């Protein structure tokens, strides 16, 4: 394999696989396959470092075949469950005459669980029985986290938990996020059952009634504010206390309605703008304890909430209302819960360790 880049001499990477840390010279079929596997596992990084060129992923099928064969040798039909072949460098030498890097590597198995972006972390998700909450929970679990789901409806929580248990540890806690005693309880219970709190997806929210501002009822306004603002505030207050000096990541769910107007949804729009203020102040006060606080701002997403808004907008033709909303999105469609969950996963992970106080849109271009 030869690569070159402008201003640099060509070089070659020779990959010598051995389980015995030998001389690196092998003619067995396994060693040949191992060498090909290593191209996928190691060469890409070396190529980037030495030439600025990327090595493609064309060796993936070879990696899969190698994994399957090694599994057969161990008496099974495939590689160990939930495992992937990885390689550790055992040595390296440099030949100045041939411009050759010789790398000796040793194959080993590593479980996928150990590779999760949230491995050994714990998370609370409010609004856990809803579309975005449950989808985020599934993603967190697959990435190695333990999750506590919080929602008002115990039966709905139980139903969601049944679909998630195969992916990891799930705790369900019925609570009213607008009630401070309930918030203190769910935080304490999650901390005890999970062993701590590293991540808080502060996600519970309601849409309120669709109506012109002049026709909005005070009681409807108060209900939206109770859940979307007081609930958000109480979650921040008690989770930040529980995180303490150990730090953590908090992601607040706002909306594109927290960044712009939304006629017909004044209480909701006001509440989602308030989330921005809570996020910014929370990030400023939490930074000293390494608590990061960010907000996500979805456009319309295919969930129960949008079905309710569509029906409220056009009671006689909700499908037409959906079509109208979709036209407002440059990408021409609603988001899906997983679109939001992927962004939340990033902000929850260590990959976002220097990000706090920020507002992240996931809106198909709606706010551009």
**49 and 63 assigned to the same domain:** yes
Task: Report the pLDDT value the prediction gives residue 99, as an integer from 0 to 100.
Answer: 58
* 171 located within any domain: yes
Average pLDDT of the segment spanning 77-102: 51
**105 and 156 assigned to the same domain:** no
**104 and 120 assigned to the same domain:** no
**79 and 154 assigned to the same domain:** no
**61 and 97 assigned to the same domain:** yes
**159 and 291 assigned to the same domain:** yes
- CA dist list (Å): 166 to 48, 136, 162, 201: 38, 15, 8, 21
Active-site entry in 268, 325, 334, 360: 268
pLDDT digits (tens, 9 = 90+) for 3-61: 333 333 444 445 444 433 334 444 444 444 444 444 444 444 444 444 333 334 443 44
pLDDT digits (tens, 9 = 90+) for 155-203: 999 999 999 999 999 999 999 999 999 999 999 999 999 999 999 999 9
* 55 located within any domain: yes
At residue 130, does pLDDT exceed 80? Answer: yes
- Pick from 14-18, 233-237, 349-353: least confident: 14-18
**133 and 205 assigned to the same domain:** yes
Q: pLDDT above 70 covers what percent of the chain?
A: 69
Task: Report the pLDDT value the prediction gives residue 102, as an integer from 0 to 100.
Answer: 55
Residues spanned by the domain of 77: 2-111
Task: Report the pLDDT value the prediction gives residue 108, as an integer from 0 to 100.
Answer: 46
Return the higher-pLDDT residue of 115 and 128: 128
**38 and 146 assigned to the same domain:** no
Is there a catalytic annotation at residue 325? Answer: no
* 170 located within any domain: yes
pLDDT digits (tens, 9 = 90+) for 329-346: 999 999 999 999 999 999
pLDDT, mean over the chain: 81
**125 and 181 assigned to the same domain:** yes
Domain-terminating residue out of 111, 141, 159 = 111
Decide if 141 contacts 113 (C-beta within 8 A). Answer: no
At residue 359, does pLDDT exceed 60? Answer: yes
**316 and 181 assigned to the same domain:** yes
Domain-terminating residue out of 111, 139, 167 = 111
**276 and 173 assigned to the same domain:** yes
* 368 located within any domain: no
* 320 located within any domain: yes
Domain-terminating residue out of 69, 88, 111 = 111
**77 and 225 assigned to the same domain:** no
């Amino acid at each position: 394999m030869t690569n070159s880049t402008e201003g640099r001499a060509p070089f070659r990477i020779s990959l010598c696989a051995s389980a015995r840390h030998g001389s690196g010279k092998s003619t067995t079929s396994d060693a040949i396959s191992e060498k090909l596997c290593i191209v996928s596992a190691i060469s890409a990084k070396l190529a980037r470092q030495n030439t600025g060129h990327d090595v493609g992923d064309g060796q993936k099928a070879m990696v899969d075949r190698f994994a399957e064969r090694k599994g057969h040798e161990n008496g099974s039909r495939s590689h160990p469950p939930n495992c992937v072949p990885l390689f550790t460098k055992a040595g390296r030498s440099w030949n100045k005459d041939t411009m050759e890097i010789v790398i000796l590597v040793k194959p080993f198995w590593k479980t996928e669980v150990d590779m999760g972006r949230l491995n050994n972390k714990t998370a609370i998700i409010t609004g856990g029985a809803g579309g975005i909450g449950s989808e985020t929970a599934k993603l967190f679990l697959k990435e190695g986290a333990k999750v506590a789901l919080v929602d008002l409806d115990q039966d709905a929580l139980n139903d969601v938990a049944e679909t998630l248990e195969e992916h990891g540890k799930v705790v369900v806690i019925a609570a009213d996020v607008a009630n401070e005693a309930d918030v203190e309880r769910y935080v304490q219970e999650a901390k005890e059952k999970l062993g701590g709190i590293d991540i808080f997806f502060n996600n519970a929210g309601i849409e309120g009634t669709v109506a012109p501002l002049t026709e909005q009822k005070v009681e409807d306004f108060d209900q939206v504010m109770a859940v979307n603002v007081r609930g958000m505030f109480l979650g921040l207050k008690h989770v930040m206390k529980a995180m303490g000096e150990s730090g953590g990541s908090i992601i607040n769910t706002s909306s594109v309605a927290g960044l712009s107007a939304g006629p017909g949804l004044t209480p909701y729009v006001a509440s989602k703008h308030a989330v921005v203020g809570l996020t910014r102040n929370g990030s400023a006060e939490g930074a000293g304890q390494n608590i990061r606080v960010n907000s996500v701002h979805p456009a319309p997403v295919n969930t129960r909430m949008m079905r309710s808004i569509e029906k409220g907008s056009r009671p006689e033709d909700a499908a037409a209302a959906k079509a109208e909303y979709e036209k407002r999105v440059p990408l021409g469609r609603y988001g899906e819960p997983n679109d939001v969950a992927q962004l939340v996963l990033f902000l929850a992970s260590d990959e976002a360790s220097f990000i706090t106080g920020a507002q992240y849109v996931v809106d198909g271009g709606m706010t551009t």
